[in-house]
Amino acid sequence: MTNTSPARDLLIQVGKTMIAEQGYNATGINAVLKEAGVPKGSFYHYFASKEAFGLAVIESFAEENDQQLYGVLKDASRPALDRVSDWLAVSRGEMKRCDHSRGCLIGNLGQEMSSRSDVLRDALAQAFQRWEGCLADCLGEGQAEGSVRRDLDAGALAAFVMAGWQGALLRAKTVRDCQPLYEFEQTLMACIRTH
Amino acid sequence: MTNTSPARDLLIQVGKTMIAEQGYNATGINAVLKEAGVPKGSFYHYFASKEAFGLAVIESFAEENDQQLYGVLKDASRPALDRVSDWLAVSRGEMKRCDHSRGCLIGNLGQEMSSRSDVLRDALAQAFQRWEGCLADCLGEGQAEGSVRRDLDAGALAAFVMAGWQGALLRAKTVRDCQPLYEFEQTLMACIRTH
């Protein structure tokens, strides 16, 4: 199998959009090939299986998201809670751009595929763990600054924030509107900042 | 179409389990009929479409869950935050029983189907709204008791708790373990109780 090639990259890009919109099971290999304009029959030249394709899609999405998240949450020029707000605003902007239809690909696949593929489940759990780790560092800096409450462990707070945000994205999808995301952020900030 | 019959009820029961485990798109009508032992060809006697079947499954699951949730959260003999803990324990028990594979059917379908069916999305949003309303009443009683912080609106707190719990269920699925659920509850209680 070829590990990098323009056609392989294109299949992954198309797969990210289609899987985010339709889910993994509803996304057929032939539809991805057709959308990408890549010849039928070449899929297994690039991927050993649909699961291997799904893993490549997850890894590509997670890597892009890692970079975006790190860029915002590690920006030491901004107070820690402002960075958290910046991150939520970026994520909310993505929800607006897709008319509140997609949510987070990692969250979506976590729901759909956790019980059906250990390979995909592990990759999804690792992505969550990295994001929570980055968020924990930021919240720990907030605790050092004095803006974030110190009676709770930064790692536990990070997992709490990430879980809430995933749930808020889900709720936003069910009403096709960002209102649940704004309300979540307001309540979150009241819960985690120092009073 | 027949609105109630033993065969129709059986198809809905089987559908609930299969859709919770596999998702909506991966659950084929023929597989449901086979598992239920209901003759092929009779599906459209009971349901106008797969979407109508999905709606019946959602309504049946939501109704069961409504009863369970109301029983726990409206139990005026218990302090409000104990009722919230009781509800989380019931939900956690269900996650354990299915080896952390299913999560909440409403949450799962909200992820998978919100952008694909307005009929299903509306039913899912209504279920969430009812649960948040019931939780808001309970948290409001906690505010009256003095156990729940009063600086935040009970409805906003309820949406915050429900979002977080849905996200924690998702996280539990990705690690096939209840640990994220225990940690979420601990942080949640520290955030919403009166200090």
Could A183 and B160 be called an inter-chain contact, meaning their C-beta atoms sit closer than 8 Å? yes
A178 closest CA partner among A72, A117, A103: A103
Could A187 and B162 be called an inter-chain contact, meaning their C-beta atoms sit closer than 8 Å? no
Q: Tell me the ipTM for this assembly.
A: 0.94
User: What's the half-sphere exposure (Cβ side, CA atoms, 13 Å) at A88?
Assistant: 25
Could B183 and A159 be called an inter-chain contact, meaning their C-beta atoms sit closer than 8 Å? yes
Residue type, A179: Q
Confidence grade of residue B3 (pLDDT, cut at 50, 70, 90): low
Rounded alpha-carbon distances, angstroms, from residue B98 to B20, B72, B104, B120: 10, 21, 11, 24
Give the separation between CA A56 and CA B75, rounded to whole angstroms: 49
Q: What does the pLDDT average to over A92-108?
A: 88
Could A23 and B21 be called an inter-chain contact, meaning their C-beta atoms sit closer than 8 Å? no
Which residues have CB under 8 Å from B41's CB, separation 6+?
none
Residue A2 pLDDT exceeds 60: no
Q: What does the pLDDT average to over A114-143?
A: 96
Q: How distant is the Cα of B9 from the closest Cα of chain A, in angstroms?
A: 25
B80 closest CA partner among B24, B9, B14, B161: B161
Could A111 and B103 be called an inter-chain contact, meaning their C-beta atoms sit closer than 8 Å? yes
Instruction: Say what the pLDDT of residue A119 is.
Output: 97
B164 neighbourhood in chain A, CB within 8 Å? 160, 163-164, 167
Residue A116 token pair: 């059906």
Give pLDDT tens digits for B93-150: 999 988 888 888 999 899 889 988 999 999 999 999 999 999 999 999 999 999 999 9
DSSP secondary structure of chain A: --S--HHHHHHHHHHHHHHHHH-STT--HHHHHHHHTPPTT-HHHH-SSHHHHHHHHHHHHHHHHHHHHHHHHT-TTS-HHHHHHHHHHHHHHHHHHTTT----HHHHHHHHHTTT-HHHHHHHHHHHHHHHHHHHHHHHHHHHHTSB-SSS-HHHHHHHHHHHHHHHHHHHHHHTSSHHHHHHHHHHHHHHB--
Best of B95, B109, B160, B186 to disrupt the A interface (most A CBs within 10 Å) is B160
Give pLDDT tens digits for B140-163: 999 999 999 999 999 999 999 999
Could B111 and A168 be called an inter-chain contact, meaning their C-beta atoms sit closer than 8 Å? no
Which range among A1-5, A180-184, B62-66, B105-109 has the greatest average pLDDT? A180-184
Q: With respect to residue B97, please indicate whether it lies within any of the assigned structural domains.
A: yes
Q: Which residue of B has its CA nearest to A191?
A: B191
Burial of A177 (0-12, 13-18, 19+ CB in 10 A): middle
Give the separation between CA B93 and CA A183, rounded to whole angstroms: 29
Q: With respect to residue A136, please indicate whether it lies within any of the assigned structural domains.
A: yes
Number of structural domains (chain B) is 1
Are B157 and A119 spatial neighbours (Cβ–Cβ below 8 Å)? no
β-bridge partners, A148: A193
Q: Reduced to 3 states, what is the DSSP secondary structure of residue B32? A: helix
Confidence grade of residue A124 (pLDDT, cut at 50, 70, 90): very high
Q: With respect to residue B10, please indicate whether it lies within any of the assigned structural domains.
A: no
Q: With respect to residue A30, please indicate whether it lies within any of the assigned structural domains.
A: no
Which residue range(s) make up the domain with A187? Answer: 58-192
Question: Mean pLDDT score of chain B, rounded to an integer?
Answer: 94
Q: With respect to residue B186, please indicate whether it lies within any of the assigned structural domains.
A: yes
B17-31: buried (b, 16+ CB within 10 Å) or exposed (e) per residue? bbbbbbbbbbbebee
Give the separation between CA B191 and CA A190, rounded to whole angstroms: 9
- Integer Rg of chain A from CA: 18
Q: With respect to residue B74, please indicate whether it lies within any of the assigned structural domains.
A: yes
Q: With respect to residue B180, please indicate whether it lies within any of the assigned structural domains.
A: yes
Q: With respect to residue B44, please indicate whether it lies within any of the assigned structural domains.
A: no
Q: What is the CATH number of the domain that holds A111?
A: 1.10.357.10
Instruction: Say what the pLDDT of residue A61 is.
Output: 95
Are A19 and A57 spatial neighbours (Cβ–Cβ below 8 Å)? yes
Residues A80, A86, A88, CA angle at the centre, nearest 5°?
110
B108 neighbourhood in chain A, CB within 8 Å? 111-112
